[in-house]
């Protein structure tokens, strides 16, 4: 087939027409939904957190859309289940940022996936909001569009240290971890912090989590005069062995540490329910019972969850609240600043005392970690009711 | 302290010894060092917890089902990972095939069972203390297994056929012994012993997919210490390993306990490469 001048002209006309229709797109887009890329782990080994956060996120988006959306435009969550797999998170980021052209990325919700995905989201210049604790995930120079709506690992460890040294007034502390990267890094970070607070670390060790008998370690702690045990591990087997050994020794020492201490998996491995007494795990002031009552915002949120028939018995209130806060923060931002990336980041950089259910958020251009130290608290692990825990004893109301 | 070293040391040691025997039973019949032994141990705990704690079956039914599953997995191991590579055994392809199969099963367990350790039910409500089942059950299983194997190998015709295959498979075949069937029976038997180890040790080690790598390694140590193919050597090596590991936990603690175990293991192998109980075999040239 020969190419004639007429055919070239006709082709050009079609091209011009399609270009013109492309130029007219913003007028149509004014009514189109605003897309938010959402990267939860809804399946796979780290999915229990994702499932809880997802309930809050979906509820908030439904509420925003039912209330008229963002100036008449609905929010559309483009959900990509990372399946707890960093590779899948990375692939999803490419699709969300480049093909779907989302306004904001919410997630990934787990640190392992966020570590892989954050540099890519930063490269594509998409505003990113995430709830992961690993400190390195926020760096205003490397990732100027990434913001954290949860505490950092340093804050979490600092909260536990504060409780032991300043609330319980205990000075001799045993710090133990498993031999994983998380365990060793936590001990290496938190021990100097404890010492800086004036505590004496009488025992410090990393132990293989598979070791079935931790009695030698606890005997060493006891003979060193430890007044509190601080275990840093996400391994329920390891933590339950510490608690069971403490129970078998009849040693009435408080155990203060990470949230897994209060998980259902740890509970299932206890030899006696009493072994969970005097065990305090990280939690958050806004979603803890104090004197039998939740703070006002959380109580009102629980009522809404009940009304929306959202299941709370198999998850934790702080996970749902965190999901709700993330979506609500994005909704408020889009309403105030619109869907352009630079405007969103500028708005977030000026956020001060934003009242979430899970926590109060403040960001500045120099600090994208938004969670206040004062809201990282410890709770009594054996007090779970409706997905929330009692504040550990000793805190001022 | 002494009581804790002896009770935990012997109990864990008995589990290691049984895993060592599992390696040996598979090795004797095929000359293949199958890295599925730790997998069988891990499955013994996970399947036991599944049948008894989750499905609510009586303990004895659960045990029988676990052992039956072990036998079936042993047969599958032989069919899928050992038989295809026997012809080129000198290339050691079995390292890859058995390890790959074990890792596949471990990942499947992680997906279906979960990555968190889960409790194993207390079957006999005695204890706590010395009488707790987590201490004596693995030791009882180890004693029953070693006595049973001795009786099988020395008193029965099929046991002697196993020994004949282990000694010289070509000569045994020439005499008309059904080598393939005997090898399959050995792998089924190894499956039963491996899952028994995991089942009896699970109250101590918990029902946890991660136990596979620990049992694979610590179960290998008694084989290396006791001499390849020697079940008595595996029992002595396993119990010694358990006691030494637990003593090291008390004396040095933390990660140094593991370092101490590895250091002694390497020193023993340097001094006696054929193992403590193994005899160096003369090779005809």
Q: A312-356: per-residue pLDDT in tens?
A: 877 889 999 999 999 999 999 999 999 999 999 999 999 999 999
Residue B235, φ and ψ in degrees, nearest 5: -65, -45
Note down pLDDT in tens along chain B; length 285 residues.
788 889 889 999 999 999 999 999 999 888 888 999 999 999 999 999 999 999 999 999 999 999 999 999 999 999 999 998 888 777 788 888 999 999 999 999 998 888 888 899 988 877 666 678 888 999 999 999 999 999 999 999 988 998 888 888 888 888 888 988 999 999 999 999 999 999 999 999 999 999 999 999 999 999 988 888 889 889 999 999 999 999 998 888 877 888 888 888 888 888 887 776 655 555 555
- State the Cα–Cα distance between residues B59 and B49, nearest whole angstrom: 10
The CB density around residue A383, as the number of other CB atoms within 10 Å, is: 15
Q: How far is A38 from chain B (nearest CA, A)?
A: 24
Residue A4: pLDDT band with limits 50, 70, 90: low
B116 to A248: CB separation less than 8 angstroms, yes or no: no
Pairwise pLDDT comparison (A47 vs A25), residue with the higher score: A47
A235 to B117: CB separation less than 8 angstroms, yes or no: yes
Give the percent of chain A with pLDDT over 70: 92
CA nearest to B41, candidates B95, B100, B105? B105
pLDDT at B261: 83
CA angle A326, A331, A334 (to 5 degrees): 125
Q: A91-114: per-residue pLDDT in tens?
A: 999 999 999 999 999 999 988 899
Chain A contacts to B (CB-CB under 8 A): 45, 179, 205-208, 210-213, 215-217, 219-220, 235-237, 240, 248, 265, 268-269, 271
pLDDT at A59: 96
Task: Indicate the helix (H) or strand (E) that contains A83.
Answer: none
Task: Indicate the helix (H) or strand (E) that contains B268.
Answer: helix B254-271
Residue A287: pLDDT band with limits 50, 70, 90: very high
A216 to B253: CB separation less than 8 angstroms, yes or no: yes
Q: Name the region of B284 (left: φ>0; alpha: ψ -120 to 50; beta: rest).
A: beta
- For residue A212, the chain B residues in CB contact (below 8 A) are 8, 12, 204-205
Helices (H), chain A: 5-23, 25-29, 47-66, 86-94, 111-123, 153-162, 181-196, 215-223, 236-249, 264-268, 296-307, 317-337, 341-349
pLDDT at A212: 86
Superfamily of domain A166-289+379-391: Response regulator (3.40.50.2300)
- For residue B117, the chain A residues in CB contact (below 8 A) are 235-237, 240, 265, 269
Give the percent of chain A with pLDDT over 90: 74
A268 to B119: CB separation less than 8 angstroms, yes or no: yes
Q: Which residue in the block uniquely carries the two structure tokens 């997906």?
A: B111
pLDDT at B229: 82
| Nearest residue on chain A to B6, alpha-carbon basis | A213
A237 to B206: CB separation less than 8 angstroms, yes or no: yes
A212 to B12: CB separation less than 8 angstroms, yes or no: yes
Q: A253-271: per-residue pLDDT in tens?
A: 999 999 889 888 888 899 9
- State the Cα–Cα distance between residues B285 and B281, nearest whole angstrom: 13
Task: Decide if B80 touches A, using CB distance below 8 A.
Answer: no
pLDDT at A397: 59
Q: What is the DSSP letter of A364?
A: B
Residue A7: pLDDT band with limits 50, 70, 90: low
Residue A181: pLDDT band with limits 50, 70, 90: confident
A210 to B118: CB separation less than 8 angstroms, yes or no: no
- For residue B114, the chain A residues in CB contact (below 8 A) are 45
Task: Decide if B159 touches A, using CB distance below 8 A.
Answer: no
Q: How far is A213 from chain B (nearest CA, A)?
A: 7
pLDDT at A24: 44
| Nearest residue on chain A to B250, alpha-carbon basis | A216
- For residue A248, the chain B residues in CB contact (below 8 A) are 128
B255 to A206: CB separation less than 8 angstroms, yes or no: yes
pLDDT at B285: 53
Q: How far is B134 from chain A (nearest CA, A)?
A: 11
Residue A29: pLDDT band with limits 50, 70, 90: low
Q: Which residue in the block uniquely carries the two structure tokens 């082709």?
A: A11
pLDDT at B128: 66
CA nearest to A137, candidates A118, A110, A112? A118
Interface confidence, given as ipTM, is 0.80
B205 to A212: CB separation less than 8 angstroms, yes or no: yes
A269 to B118: CB separation less than 8 angstroms, yes or no: yes
Q: How far is A193 from chain B (nearest CA, A)?
A: 22
A265 to B210: CB separation less than 8 angstroms, yes or no: no
Spell out the residues 6+ positions from residue A150 whose beta carbon is closer than 8 angstroms to its own. Answer: A130, A131, A132, A133, A322, A358, A359, A371
* Domain boundary assignment for chain B: 2-271
- State the Cα–Cα distance between residues A289 and A384, nearest whole angstrom: 10
Q: A138-147: per-residue pLDDT in tens?
A: 999 999 999 9
Q: How far is B3 from chain A (nearest CA, A)?
A: 12
Nearest CB to B206 within list A45, A205, A269: A269
Residue from B252, B254, B257 to probe the interface with A (highest A Cβ count within 10 Å): B254
- For residue A232, the chain B residues in CB contact (below 8 A) are none
B116 to A265: CB separation less than 8 angstroms, yes or no: yes
A219 to B210: CB separation less than 8 angstroms, yes or no: no
Task: Decide if B116 touches A, using CB distance below 8 A.
Answer: yes
> Is the pLDDT confidence value at A15 over 60?
no
> Which residues belong to CATH 3.40.50.2300 in chain A?
34-153+298-377, 166-289+379-391
- State the Cα–Cα distance between residues A171 and A201, nearest whole angstrom: 8
Residue A2: pLDDT band with limits 50, 70, 90: very low
- For residue B115, the chain A residues in CB contact (below 8 A) are 45
- For residue B250, the chain A residues in CB contact (below 8 A) are 216, 219
> Is the pLDDT confidence value at A22 over 90?
no
Pick the CATH number of A34-153+298-377 from 2.102.10.10, 1.10.275.10, 3.40.50.2300, 3.30.460.80: 3.40.50.2300
């Amino acid at each position: 087939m020969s190419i004639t001048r007429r055919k070239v002209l006709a082709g050009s006309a079609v091209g011009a027409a399609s270009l013109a229709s492309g130029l007219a797109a913003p007028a149509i887009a004014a009514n189109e939904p605003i897309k938010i890329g959402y990267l939860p782990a809804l399946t796979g080994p780290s999915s229990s957190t994702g499932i809880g956060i997802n309930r809050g996120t979906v509820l908030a988006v439904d509420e925003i859309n039912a209330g008229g959306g963002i100036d008449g435009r609905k929010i559309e969550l483009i959900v990509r289940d990372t399946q707890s797999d960093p590779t899948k998170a990375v692939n999803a980021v490419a699709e969300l940022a480049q093909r779907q052209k989302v306004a904001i990325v919410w997630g990934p919700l787990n640190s392992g996936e966020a570590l892989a995905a954050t540099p890519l989201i930063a490269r594509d210049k998409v505003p990113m909001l995430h709830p992961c604790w690993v400190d390195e995930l926020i760096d205003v120079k490397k990732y100027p569009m990434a913001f954290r709506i949860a505490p950092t690992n340093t804050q979490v460890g600092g909260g536990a240290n504060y409780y032991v040294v300043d609330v319980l007034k205990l000075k001799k502390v045993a710090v133990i971890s498993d031999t994983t990267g998380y365990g060793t890094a936590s001990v290496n970070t938190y021990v100097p912090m404890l010492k800086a607070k004036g505590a004496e670390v009488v025992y410090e060790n990393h132990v293989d989590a598979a070791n079935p008998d931790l009695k030698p370690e606890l005997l060493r702690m006891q003979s060193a005069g430890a007044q509190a045990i601080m275990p840093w591990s996400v391994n329920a087997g390891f933590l339950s062995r510490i608690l069971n050994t403490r129970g078998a020794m009849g040693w009435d020492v408080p155990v203060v540490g990470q949230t897994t201490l209060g998980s259902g998996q740890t509970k299932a491995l206890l030899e006696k329910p009493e072994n969970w007494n005097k065990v305090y795990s990280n939690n958050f002031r806004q979603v803890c019972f104090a004197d039998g009552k939740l703070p006002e915002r959380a109580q009102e949120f629980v009522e809404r969850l009940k009304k929306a028939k959202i299941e709370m018995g198999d998850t934790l209130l702080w996970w749902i609240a965190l999901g709700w806060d993330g979506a609500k923060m994005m909704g408020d931002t889009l309403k105030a600043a619109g869907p352009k990336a630079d405007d969103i980041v500028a708005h977030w950089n000026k956020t001060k005392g934003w009242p979430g259910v899970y926590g109060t958020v403040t960001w500045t251009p120099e600090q994208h970690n938004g969670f206040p130290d004062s809201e990282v608290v410890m709770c009594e692990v054996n007090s779970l009711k409706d997905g929330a825990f009692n504040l550990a004893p000793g805190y001022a109301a | 302290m002494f009581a804790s070293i002896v009770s935990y040391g012997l109990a864990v040691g008995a589990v290691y010894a049984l895993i060592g025997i599992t390696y040996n039973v598979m090795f004797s019949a095929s000359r293949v060092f199958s890295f599925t032994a730790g997998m069988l141990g891990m499955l013994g705990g996970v399947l036991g917890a599944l049948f008894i704690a989750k499905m609510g079956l009586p303990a004895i039914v659960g045990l029988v089902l676990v052992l039956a599953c072990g036998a079936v997995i042993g047969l599958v191991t032989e069919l899928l990972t050992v038989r295809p590579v026997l012809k080129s055994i000198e290339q050691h392809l079995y390292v890859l095939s058995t390890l790959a199969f074990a890792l596949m099963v471990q990942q499947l367990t992680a997906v279906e069972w979960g990555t968190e350790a889960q409790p194993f039910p207390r079957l006999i409500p005695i204890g706590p203390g010395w009488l707790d089942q987590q201490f004596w059950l693995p030791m009882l299983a180890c004693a029953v297994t070693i006595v049973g194997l001795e009786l099988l190998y020395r008193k029965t015709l099929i046991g002697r056929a196993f020994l004949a295959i282990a000694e010289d498979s070509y000569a045994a075949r020439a005499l008309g012994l059904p080598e393939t069937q005997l090898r399959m029976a050995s792998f089924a038997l190894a499956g039963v012993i491996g899952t028994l180890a995991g089942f009896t040790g699970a109250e101590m080690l918990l029902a946890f997919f991660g136990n596979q790598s620990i049992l694979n390694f610590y179960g290998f140590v008694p084989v290396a210490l006791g001499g390849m193919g020697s079940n008595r050597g595996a029992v002595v090596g396993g119990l010694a390993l358990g006691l030494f590991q637990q003593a090291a936990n008390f004396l040095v603690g933390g990660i140094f306990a593991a370092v101490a175990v590895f250091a002694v293991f390497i020193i023993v192998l340097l001094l006696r490469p054929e193992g403590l109980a193994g005899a160096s075999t003369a090779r005809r040239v």
